[in-house]
Structure formats: C-alpha cells, structure tokens
Amino acid sequence: MGEDTDAPLTPLNHRGFLPDHNYVTEADIISTVEFNHTGELLATGDKGGRVVIFQREPESKNELFSQGEYNVYSTFQSHEPEFDYLKSLEIEEKINKIRWLPQQNAAHFLLSTNDKTIKLWKVSERDKRPEGYNLKDEEGRIKDLSTVTSLQVPVLKPMDLMVEVSPRRLFANAHTYHVNSISVNSDYQTYMSADDLRINLWHLDITDRSFNIVDIKPVNMEDLTEVITAAEFHPHHCNLFVYSSSKGTLRLCDMREAALCDKHSKLFEEPEDPSSRSFFSEIISSVSDVKFSHSGRYLLTRDYLTAKVWDLNMESKPLETYQVHDYLRSKLCSLYENDCIFDKFECAWNGSDSVIMTGAYNNFFRMFDRNTKRDVTLEASRESSKPRAVLKPRRVCAAGGKRRKDDISVDSLDFTKKILHTAWHPTENIIAIAATNNLYIFQDKLNSEMH
C-alpha cells in the first residue's frame, strides 16, 4: 500500500441517491456513514433526514474473490425539519451521527441524531403473517360477535420478506447547542451525547432525563475560548470516555472520579512550535474527530491538515503524526475565504488498528499503514468504480513542485468535492466512502490484511 504500487482495493459497488440526474440537491448529501458491529449492515444518513441501510449479500461471504456486494435493505425518514418557537430557530433534519447498538436478538437497533433530538430505531424482518383470527376478519375489522359460531386457532402463513423500521425511543430537550457526537457505552445500557459545551449521559430505557457529565460553559459567554468537537466512550472500560476540543486538546475522563467530569484524568496536548504560529494556527489545530482504537490503547484524531495517533499512556505528544494534505499549507488564506478551512473531516481505524484512513479534497482519501509507514492517496469517483477495477494511487504536486506524469496540481483540486465521512468494516478490508451524494464501497482485492 504505497505511492509506487497499485493499491489493493477494488470497488464492491457504489450507490448514489440520485441515479437519474447529475445535479445534487442539498437534501441528498450524505452526512454520516456507519457499519454495524458485524459489518453485515451499513447505514448512511443524509441532510434530508433520511437513513438508508445497506445489507451485505449473504451468499458472497465465504468466497475468496467474491464481490460481497451491499444492496439497499431499508430506507426511512428519521428526522423532519422542526421549529423552536421559543428561540425562533429552525432545526434542520440533517442526520449528524448514526450509532448501532450490538445485536442481542433477531432485530437490529440504531441511534440517529440531528442537531437536537436523538432517536432509537428498531429494524426487524417479517416473513410470516397471522391468519384465522376469531374476532377479526382478513382485513383486520372486528367481526359481528353473533356470527362467531366456532373457535379456531390462528396460524402463521409465509409472506414476502418485509423489513420494518419502527421508532422505539425519543430522547429530546437535553441540548441547548447542536449535537455533534453520540457514543454507545460498552455496558450496552447507556450512551452519551455531546454538543458544543456539554456532554450528557443517557440510559437507553429512560427518555425523560439525562445526566450532565461535562459542562464547559463559562458563566460569562464572553469568556468562552473553546468548544467540544467530538466525544467517544472507551471500547472496553465503561467508565472512560474522551472528548476533543477546538483548541486541539483531548481530555480523557473517568466517571468513577466524580459525577461531573469537568476535571479530566488526562490531558493530551501537543506543544505549539512558536516559529510556525500564524493567523490560522488555532483554526487548523481544532480536532474534528476522535476515535479509540479497537484495542482501546490508542486514540486517532483528525485536525485540518494532519491525522495523529496518541498513546493513552503518553500525554505530552502524539505517538505518530501523518500529513494528510500538507500541500494545502500555502493555500490556507484562500481556504479561509471560501470557508473550506472549517470542514470537519472524520477518520477511521481498520479492524487490526494497523491502518488508518481519512478524507481529503477532490474526492481523494488517504490511508496510512502504521507498520510500514507507507501511505497512499486514492480517489472515489464514478470513473474509478468500474467492477473489479483496481484503484490507482493518485499524487498531488505542490505549487512550484516537480510534476510527474499523472500528477495533479494543487491548483486544480476541486474543493467542492470532499470526503468528510468514511467508515471501515470492523473485521474485513471493506471501506465505505461518502462523496457528496454517492456512497462508494471498496474492498481489498484479495480480502487480505492491508499490511
């Protein structure tokens, strides 16, 4: 997996919400992507408040060279636009985050959230229907009791498979500011939701109250210096969670220490180099995403220009720093003017924590192998997603740099095409990339480990 070799990724399939025309409406833009714990289901949310669930085709699981294609399993409207009359504010229907709960029976459960309201959804299948009720006719109407002369035992008859999605819980009225993160705890009974200034802890069965576990709102809002940008629970220890800030810091908190975790257990912060300080330093150091490794030992963070891996045992500096698109450093002024500098890129680990992935501009996404220190730039586009085609590495040439054949100049990058949302299958080398209104799914051509 390096710049000089073909990347071992081939398309499984790609899905767009708008197959019949080329223009994109705002509602169709994908805003979150998430595999479930087995990787058999993949959910996407969009700015129109819809959730689309894809299911992996079962017959392809055990074939070495199979396409293992994901097809649409269910689509439903999760959130609708609302209006807060007290504050005269419109509440968008856009889905900010989706998180799956571990499967405990035949049904699947997922949490979805917009800026204010979190909902718990049940996704279940039905392939039988009851027939032969005593008091109802075939259409469900109550029979005239005088016509019931005998009792019969209702029976279950086969029917075409139907996927039913139903709302089970609604968690509302707990956030003054926009919800940016939700994370399910490893105890599978609680989850947390974070907005710009507060983090709340919820029980999945209790909708009318939550516990505030972090509150960084100052008494005087003029003293506000940072906001919470992301938060996540530790994958194995239910008492630990981390949250990131717009100042580039990470705070690890332990809920055993106090009910209100305003005092962190550990603070992860990289000292700033005074010689490289500029007007944009604070903006580009803001952490847009934080993810625990599957092992729970490391943290992966993404800021505007870099991805960093932190060891929980070392707070003073990151263990590894990866330059995602350093060629943009000279373009920060124009990126500030067109607001791209505020884009929030997400990041992802592979199943063995050996490779990390994150997005960039021009529909490019980057992968970094932690063991070999090799990296690759790949492109998610309709042209590169023909079946069984191998993705060719791309290379961006910095302004004034020496150009090779097939290099792309930094001046010709399309900043309207950006990969903000990515997800990695929990055990296999299958990745999901959201590019505007298209979902691209790629897999390693040999189904082997990437390192």
Taking alpha carbons only, the member of 242, 233, 236 closest to residue 202 is 233
Q: Is 388 left (phi over 0), alpha (psi -120 to 50) or beta?
A: left
Structure tokens at 95: 């889905």
Amino acid (one-letter) located at 94: K
Task: Using alpha carbons, select from 262, 269, 264, 310 the residue that is nearest to residue 286.
Answer: 269
Contact 216, 196 (CB under 8 A): no
- For the chain, list residues with pLDDT below 70: 1-23, 59-67, 384-385, 387-388, 399-402, 445-451
DSSP state of 34: E
pLDDT at residue number 413: 92
Residue 446 has what pLDDT?
47
Only one residue has tokens 């169709």, namely 28
Residues 390-402 pLDDT 10s: 888 888 887 666 6
Q: What is the pLDDT of residue 250?
A: 97
pLDDT of 81 reads: 93
Beta strands in 69-197 (DSSP E): 70-77, 82-84, 89-91, 97-100, 108-113, 118-131, 155-171, 181-184, 190-194
- Nearest C-alpha neighbor of 430 from the set 355, 337, 332: 355
Q: Round to whole Å and give the CA distance between 80 and 76.
A: 11
Prediction pTM value: 0.86
